[in-house]
Amino acid sequence: MIDTRVSIAGIEFKNPVTTASGTFGSGREFGEFVDLNRLGAITVKGVADKPWQGNDSPRIAEVYGGMLNSVGLQNPGADYFIKEDIPFLRQFDTKIIVNICGHTIDEYVRVTEKLRSADIDLLELNISCPNVKEGGMAFGTDCKMIEKVVGAVKKAAAQPLIVKMSPNVTDITETSKAAEAAGADALSMINTLTGMKIDIYRRKPVLANKIGGMSGPAIKPVALRMVWQTAKAVNIPIIGMGGISDAEDAIEFIMAGATMVSVGTANFSNPTATTDTISGIEKFMEDQSIKNLAEIRGII
Amino acid sequence: MKFIEKGTVIKNENIAPNIYDLSIRLPKIAKEAACGQFVEVYPDNGTNLLPRPISICETNGDSLRLVFQVVGSGTRLFSGLKSGDGVRVLGPCGNGYPLTNAKSFILAGGGVGVPPLLETAKRLKKLGNVNVYLGFRSHPFLTEDFEKIGIVPHIATDDGSVGFKGNVTELMKSENVQADIIYACGPKIMLKSVSEYGEEKNIPVYVSMEERMACGIGACVGCAVKIKKDNGFENKKVCKDGPVFDSREVLWE
């Protein structure tokens, strides 16, 4: 018998697979194709204390083996999320991870406070979005800023806190250690890498925002390397992500040291990528006689 | 309700420069599809990651007809599909044209915006009088298909090689056409001018918008279009809130 359960900060998940924030909404749309009860957790799209308009279109550009996005965290705000999305998500037997965003420390704290009494399982602090001018990545690339924002949010939070790390840094183990020291219960990595595409016929960037975040299979080796390095540098669990499209990718991240994994951009090329990944992990465990994922976690 | 189906290509023909006429057997999607909706077609080649949104030209029993333009590597791949090939499709997506109790209709199409108007014309014919105005750069396509269902389309070409010389809105103006409602699909600049025509004549216009998409189902919020709200705007999703919008609500820029 295989046991796919994992736990982070005392919360138990039925399996290690969740969704990467921003690729799965709050689950409604993908619920037409995916049995949401199968997922270890649903990590929802970023929520701010007030509604955000996001950036101008075009917000999407395909690149070799991946894509760029510059959505800019358009979201209807915490009040709407609490009223509409939490009751929807609670119909399913899965855990809820709420990704939170802000422009300032005050905004991060305000959305955290609004979620204090909400029926959710964990928070994921987005300090690494490359598409938001103030806040976003600016918080996630400087150790002093990371300590300030993580410390403030941790103090305000009622749920365990995951901090989502930016790959757009010289040494991700340094920023990760700063997040751990400031009270992070877990880390998720990586957010998108900043990138660009130019339309040579129009002589203009394809994205209205000029630059965006790159995701998809092409970034997987970078993400895997960062998870592997960080797993050796910190003592808190890691949720690995970045180009995970199937169970083989997911198992690579687990062997590199991740406790959970997130499926993101793959949802766009294959709407059942999340459940396909779960089935694939189960089959791998059976074929390889792995009883518990702890047997292979961080073995590299 | 949407489905992901592995369809089988029935035929794929090049009908005008860079324009392909692709029929795929997709029983579930074809049964569900309404006029003005679209499907997401997956390249499934390992390098083109994102599905391509393509409007539904016609539903024929258990098959869908998609008429598309080659604009990049994904659509170039689809242009090479042959009878018997398998292709993965998600749909039907989006809202489609609203079917109202109007009795007279104008359908205005520009270029590769023409295809979804064929199924729309087929369905509206049962409800009233349908006038079709189509604009092309220089090579009209699908005009015989409209004739087959008993509608002779009014044609405009930019270079005057066929029909009226000019764009589709200029053709409509020259004929001073009237109707209860206008349905339009085409490039943004054309949709804007048709919407101005409608405003002038006091005719509601429903426009089918286009934007770069990723998921196609409303989850990723990649395909934003500015819709008027209070004194400003809000970003709506072309794939889920649209692709069809009331032109008076669109913030034209």
Q: Dump pLDDT digits (tens) for A178-189.
A: 999 999 999 999
Q: Of the candidates A230, A169, A228, A173, which has an alpha carbon nearest to the alpha carbon of residue A194?
A: A169
Regarding whether B201 and B147 lie in a shared domain, the answer is yes
- CB contact under 8 Å between A60 and B214, yes or no, is yes
Work out the minimum CA distance from B59 to partner chain A, whole angstroms: 22
Which structural domain range is residue A20 located in?
A: 6-54+74-194+216-295
Write the burial class of residue B245 (CB in 10 Å: 0-12 exposed, 13-18 middle, 19+ buried): buried
- Is position B224 within any domain? no
pLDDT in tens, chain A (300 residues): 899 999 999 999 999 999 999 999 999 999 999 999 999 999 999 999 999 999 999 999 999 999 999 999 999 999 999 999 999 999 999 999 999 999 999 999 999 999 999 999 999 999 987 666 565 567 888 999 999 999 999 999 999 999 999 999 999 999 999 999 999 999 999 999 999 999 999 999 999 999 999 999 999 999 999 999 999 999 999 999 999 999 999 999 999 999 999 999 999 999 999 999 999 999 999 999 999 999 999 999
Size of interface A-B (CB pairs under 8 A): 96
Which CATH number does the domain housing residue A140 bear? 3.20.20.70
- CB contact under 8 Å between B217 and A29, yes or no, is yes
3-state secondary structure of A110: helix
Q: Is A143 a catalytic residue?
A: no
Amino acid (one-letter) located at A56: D
CA distance B57 to A169: 48
- Tally of structural domains, chain A: 1
- CB contact under 8 Å between A67 and B219, yes or no, is no
pLDDT at B154 over 90: yes
Regarding whether B112 and B56 lie in a shared domain, the answer is no
Percent of chain A with pLDDT over 90: 94
What ipTM does the predicted assembly reach?
Answer: 0.93
- Is position A205 within any domain? no
Q: Check if the beta carbon of residue A36 is closer than 8 Å to that of residue A27.
A: yes
- The end-to-end CA distance of chain B, in Å, is 33
Regarding whether B80 and B136 lie in a shared domain, the answer is no
CA distance B248 to B239: 19
pLDDT at B36 over 90: yes
The torsion angles phi and psi of A99, rounded to 5 degrees, stand at -80, 130
Which CATH number does the domain housing residue B64 bear? 2.40.30.10
- Is position B219 within any domain? no
Confidence (pTM): 0.95
- CB contact under 8 Å between A71 and B221, yes or no, is yes
- CB contact under 8 Å between A56 and B224, yes or no, is yes
- Is position A228 within any domain? yes
- Is position B248 within any domain? no
Regarding whether B86 and B16 lie in a shared domain, the answer is yes
Predicted confidence at residue A122, as pLDDT, reads 98
Predicted confidence at residue A99, as pLDDT, reads 98
Number of C-alpha atoms within 13 angstroms, CB side, residue A165?
Answer: 30
- Tally of structural domains, chain B: 2
CA distance B134 to B203: 18
Predicted confidence at residue B83, as pLDDT, reads 97
Regarding whether B63 and B11 lie in a shared domain, the answer is yes
Domain limit, last residue, from B70, B93, B116? B93
Residue among A28, A269, A270 with most chain B CBs within 10 A, to mutate: A269
Predicted confidence at residue A48, as pLDDT, reads 97
Question: Where does chain A have alpha helices with state H?
Answer: 78-80, 86-89, 105-114, 137-140, 143-156, 172-181, 220-233, 247-256, 266-269, 273-287
Torsion of CA B97, B98, B101, B104, to 10 degrees: -20
- Is position A100 within any domain? yes
How does DSSP assign chain B, residue by residue?
--EEEEEEEEEEEEEETTEEEEEEE-HHHHHH--TT-EEEE---SSS--S-EEEE--EEETTEEEEEEE--SHHHHHHHT--TT-EEEEEEEES------S-SEEEEEEEGGGSTHHHHHHHHHTTTSEEEEEEEESS---SHHHHHHTT---EEEETTSSSSEES-HHHHHHHHT---SEEEEES-HHHHHHHHHHHHHHT--EEEE-----SSSSSSS--SEEEEEETTEEEEEETTTT-SEEEGGGB---
Write the burial class of residue A9 (CB in 10 Å: 0-12 exposed, 13-18 middle, 19+ buried): middle
Predicted confidence at residue B46, as pLDDT, reads 83
Regarding whether B72 and B52 lie in a shared domain, the answer is yes
Predicted confidence at residue B229, as pLDDT, reads 94
With tokens 């109790």, the residue in question is B101
Percent of chain B with pLDDT over 90: 96
Eight-state DSSP code of residue A131: T
Residue among A29, A43, A245 with most chain B CBs within 10 A, to mutate: A29
CA distance B251 to B229: 9
Regarding whether B115 and B59 lie in a shared domain, the answer is no
Q: State whether residue A222 sits within 8 Å of chain B by CB.
A: no
Q: Of the candidates B66, B67, B68, which has an alpha carbon nearest to the alpha carbon of residue B26?
A: B66
Q: What is the mean pLDDT of residues B152-168?
A: 96
Amino acid (one-letter) located at A294: A
- What digits encode the pLDDT tens for the residues B193-221? 999 999 999 999 999 999 999 999 999 99
pLDDT at B100 over 90: no
Work out the minimum CA distance from A51 to partner chain B, whole angstroms: 10
Regarding whether B124 and B82 lie in a shared domain, the answer is no
Q: Which residues of A touch B215 (CB under 8 A)?
A: 23, 29, 267-268, 271
Which CATH number does the domain housing residue B162 bear? 3.40.50.80
- Is position A59 within any domain? no
Predicted confidence at residue A132, as pLDDT, reads 65
Residue among A44, A52, A268, A270 with most chain B CBs within 10 A, to mutate: A268
3-state secondary structure of A205: strand
Tokens for A220? 């997987």
Amino acid (one-letter) located at A78: A
CA distance A17 to A15: 6
Domain limit, last residue, from B93, B113, B143? B93
- CB contact under 8 Å between B235 and A60, yes or no, is no
Regarding whether B144 and B61 lie in a shared domain, the answer is no
Q: For all residues of chain B together, what is the average pLDDT? A: 96
- Is position B225 within any domain? no
Q: How many Cβ atoms from other residues are within 10 Å of residue B121's Cβ? A: 24
With tokens 């992901």, the residue in question is B4
- Residue A67, H or E segment: strand A66-69
Regarding whether B51 and B112 lie in a shared domain, the answer is no
Banded model confidence at residue B47, pLDDT cuts 50, 70, 90: confident
Domain limit, last residue, from B93, B116, B147? B93
- What digits encode the pLDDT tens for the residues A220-273? 999 999 999 999 999 999 999 999 999 999 999 999 999 999 999 999 999 999
Which structural domain range is residue B130 located in?
A: 104-208
Q: Which of B2, B215, B222 is opposite residue A59, by nearest beta carbon?
A: B222
Q: Which residues of B touch A33 (CB under 8 A)?
A: 2, 4
Q: Check if the beta carbon of residue A35 is closer than 8 Å to that of residue A91.
A: no
Q: Which one from A20, A129, A227, A241 is the annotated catalytic residue?
A: A129
Tokens for A74? 């358009």
Nearest CA in chain B to A67: B49
pLDDT at B253 over 90: no
